């Protein structure tokens, strides 16, 4: 159902059974998937690509121009996956020449007043809690949960199944399965509750704990700890994910307690 009070560009591609509330703005070069709902006063700007069965709440702005002084009007997009909810007054900027797009994946929940800057890549099943501010070119992996009021430095990387406590200041990479918090941000354990909810076995969880004991409690530096993990810990998917993440980190990972 399209509202007569909405402003919809005739070239926008709108799928079946899309519900559009009053005073919504939908510009040209927009694609909206089937079954999506867009509430009053939302702005869906040029370059928006919204998947199926999404919910874009009142006051949200999708594909606003990047807040980057290097931006020169180059073509870019903001992509929202299927079954994702964008709550009130969230802003998702489109990409720049760096990556050309900002991406929020499938089955995500972005809570009210949060900001996702240019060229961020958020994968699937991610929760961003209220008023979190995600700077440019941040990468967040599957099943991460970001607590309310979190501030995240540009280029930071967040691993899968991470839990970031509310009010945290993130200026280092956060490795998979970890819980981090406090100011300055430190490692606070592994995400036991999240891992159990997602079906990780007791053996898998124990292995993850053992890896982090070596990383943070052995008195070794990161290089020495990685060598010890690779030599002494049995091969597994969890080991591979953690080791590859740390080796690929440009900013370095958060510190232990």
Q: Write out pLDDT tens, residues 90-118.
A: 999 999 999 999 999 999 999 999 999 99
Q: If pLDDT is split at 50, 70 and 90, which confidence band does 2 have? A: low
Q: Where, residue-wise, is CATH 2.160.10.10 in the chain?
A: 7-137
Residue 148 catalytic? no
Question: For 225-237, what is the mean pLDDT?
Answer: 96
Report the CATH number of the 195-248 domain. 1.20.1180.10
Question: For 209-215, what is the mean pLDDT?
Answer: 98
Map residue 85 onto helix, strand or coil. Answer: strand
pLDDT score at 194: 97
Residue 194 catalytic? no
d(C-alpha 176, C-alpha 237), whole Å = 12
Active-site position among 51, 118, 173, 181: 118
Residue 1: pLDDT above 80? no
Question: For 53-67, what is the mean pLDDT?
Answer: 99
Residue 4 burial class via C-beta count within 10 angstroms: exposed 0-12, middle 13-18, buried 19 and up:
exposed
Question: For 47-68, what is the mean pLDDT?
Answer: 99
Mean pLDDT of the chain: 97
Question: For 200-219, what is the mean pLDDT?
Answer: 97
Contacts of 82 (CB under 8 A, 6+ apart): 33, 51, 52, 53, 54, 106, 107
pLDDT score at 182: 85
Q: What whole-number percentage of the chain has pLDDT above 70?
A: 99
Question: For 20-38, what is the mean pLDDT?
Answer: 98
Question: For 180-195, what is the mean pLDDT?
Answer: 95
7-137 adopts what CATH topology? UDP N-Acetylglucosamine Acyltransferase; domain 1 (2.160.10)
pLDDT score at 66: 98
Q: If pLDDT is split at 50, 70 and 90, which confidence band does 4 have? A: confident
Q: If pLDDT is split at 50, 70 and 90, which confidence band does 208 have? A: very high
Residue 235 burial class via C-beta count within 10 angstroms: exposed 0-12, middle 13-18, buried 19 and up:
exposed
Residue 183: pLDDT above 90? no
Give the pair of three-digit tokens for residue 119.
């060229």
Active-site position among 51, 105, 136, 148: 136
Active-site position among 119, 141, 142, 173: 119
Give the pair of three-digit tokens for residue 242.
């953690």
DSSP bridge partners of 212: none
Q: pLDDT higher for 2 or 249? A: 249
Q: Where, residue-wise, is CATH 1.20.1180.10 in the chain?
A: 195-248
User: Measuring CA to CA, which residue among 115, 173, 171, 106 is closest to residue 143?
Assistant: 106
Residue 9 catalytic? no
With contact defined as beta carbons under 8 Å apart, do 51 and 34 qualify?
no
């Amino acid at each position: 159902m399209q509202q007569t009070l909405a402003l919809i560009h005739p070239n926008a591609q709108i799928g079946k059974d899309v519900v559009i509330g009053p005073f919504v703005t939908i510009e040209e070069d927009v694609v909206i998937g089937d079954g999506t709902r867009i509430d009053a006063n939302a702005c869906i700007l040029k370059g928006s690509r919204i998947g199926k069965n999404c919910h874009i709440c009142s006051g949200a702005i999708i594909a606003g121009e990047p807040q980057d002084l290097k931006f020169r009007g180059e073509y870019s997009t903001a992509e929202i996956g299927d079954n994702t909810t964008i709550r009130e007054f969230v802003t998702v900027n489109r990409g720049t020449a760096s990556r050309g797009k900002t991406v929020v994946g499938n089955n995500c929940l972005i809570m009210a007043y949060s900001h996702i800057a240019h060229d961020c890549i958020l994968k699937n099943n991610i929760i961003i809690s209220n008023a979190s501010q995600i700077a440019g070119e941040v990468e967040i992996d599957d099943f991460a949960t970001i607590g309310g009021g979190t501030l995240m430095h540009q280029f930071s990387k967040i691993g899968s199944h991470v839990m970031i406590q509310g009010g945290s200041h993130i200026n280092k990479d956060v490795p998979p399965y970890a819980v981090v918090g406090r100011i300055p941000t430190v490692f606070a354990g592994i995400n036991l509750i999240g891992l159990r909810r997602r079906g990780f076995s007791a053996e898998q969880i124990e292995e993850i704990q053992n890896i982090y004991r070596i990383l943070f409690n052995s008195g070794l530096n990161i290089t020495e700890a990685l060598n010890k993990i690779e030599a002494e810990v049995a091969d597994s998917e969890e080991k591979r994910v953690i080791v590859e993440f740390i080796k690929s980190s440009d900013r370095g990972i958060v510190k232990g307690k």
